[in-house]
Each structure stands twice: as C-alpha cells, then as structure tokens.
Amino acid sequence: MKTAALAVLLGLAALSLADAKQYSTFRVHAEANASNGPVFSTQLKFSGRQVTIEKVPTISENDVTGIQTYRAADGTRGVLFQLNEHGRLALDSLSVDRRGGSLFVFINGRPITELQIDGRIYIASGLTPGDVELLKKDWPPRARK
C-alpha cells in the first residue's frame, strides 16, 4: 500500500514538473547611495565596475504589458517594453526625481544593461534569441505605431 501511494505521489510530482511553465523575469533596479547600507542596497560588479543598487526593483515583470523586439547590429536582440499604469508611474517618478541617474536592468537573472533615466526602457542589444522567445511567451509583441 505504501509503495503504491509513493508511486502515485512521484507520478503526480513528475507530471507537475513536466507541465511547469517557464516565466521571464524582468527587474529594473535604481542606482542607490552606497551609504544606504546593506538592508536597502547591495553592491555588485556591473559592466566591470562596482555599483550600488537598491535591493527592491522599481519595475518588474508585473509591470510589463507588451514588448516590441528588434534585431541588433551585433546579432543579438533588443526589446522595447510597454508598461502598465504602475510601471509608467514608477518610471515617471524616477525620471523626475533621479533624472540623469542610472537604472540597472536584469532579464532572467542576467545583468543586461545600464540605462540613464529618461522615461523609457529600451534594451538596444544583448538579448539572446532564447531570451526574446521567453519574453514573447509572457508578453505578446505589440504592433508598431
């Protein structure tokens, strides 16, 4: 009886793992003051230099409503993210409060780029075709206007 119950449990676990959906992660962290301390900020190497970023992302995948993808000259891909109302408000607030500062973008856990805060999130290059396909599953591409 125990063996049968264990077999059913293992079968259900394997089925749930096989049916698991992959999701993209998209995190935008604002540059932080190094004196904020380790509770609110973290230091890491980004593009070969030491930077301090806020631990909590200002914008995440929950703020994305769609994407437009592009082929970059270097063979990688680029993407323009469309944001929902919360994401637009967060980006607008950053654009007013910290204009000229830096945003650090991470996609699927990888550091992708550093952007100057100017009201848009456009990744010009650096994404793999796999990154773009995963992003397209979560956010269907929008028609260009």
Check pLDDT > 60 for residue 53: yes
* Spacing of C-alpha 122 from chain mean position: 12
- Indicate the burial class of 104 (C-beta count within 10 angstroms; 0-12, 13-18, 19 or more): buried
Residue 59 lies in a domain: yes
Residue 7 lies in a domain: no
CATH number of the structural domain spanning residue 42: 3.30.1360.200
More confident residue, 114 or 120: 114
Q: What pLDDT score was predicted for residue 3? A: 53
Q: Token pair 């952007």 is at which residue?
A: 115
Domain encompassing residue 104: 22-138
Residue 128 lies in a domain: yes
Residue 81 lies in a domain: yes
Give the span between the Cα atoms of 90 and 116, in whole angstroms.
15
What string of H, E and C letters represents the secondary structure of the chain?
CHHHHHHHHHHHHHHHHHCCCCCCCEEEEEECCHHHCCCCEEEEEECCEEEEEECCCCEEHHHEEEEEEEECCCCCEEEEEEECHHHHHHHHHHHHHCCCCEEEEEECCEEEEEEECCCCCEEEEEECHHHHHHHHHHCCECCCC
Strand partners, 30: 103
More confident residue, 118 or 107: 107
Mean pLDDT confidence for 32-59: 89
Mean pLDDT confidence for 81-107: 90
More confident residue, 111 or 3: 111
Check pLDDT > 50 for residue 6: no
Check pLDDT > 90 for residue 57: yes
Read off the pLDDT of residues 7-41 as tens digits, 9 standing for 90 and up. 434 444 444 444 455 688 999 999 998 888 888 99
Residue 6 lies in a domain: no
Read off the pLDDT of residues 100-116 as tens digits, 9 standing for 90 and up. 888 999 999 889 888 88
Check pLDDT > 80 for residue 68: yes
Are 25 and 62 in contact, with CB atoms under 8 Å apart?
Answer: no
Check pLDDT > 80 for residue 82: yes
Residue 3 lies in a domain: no
Number of structural domains found in the chain: 1
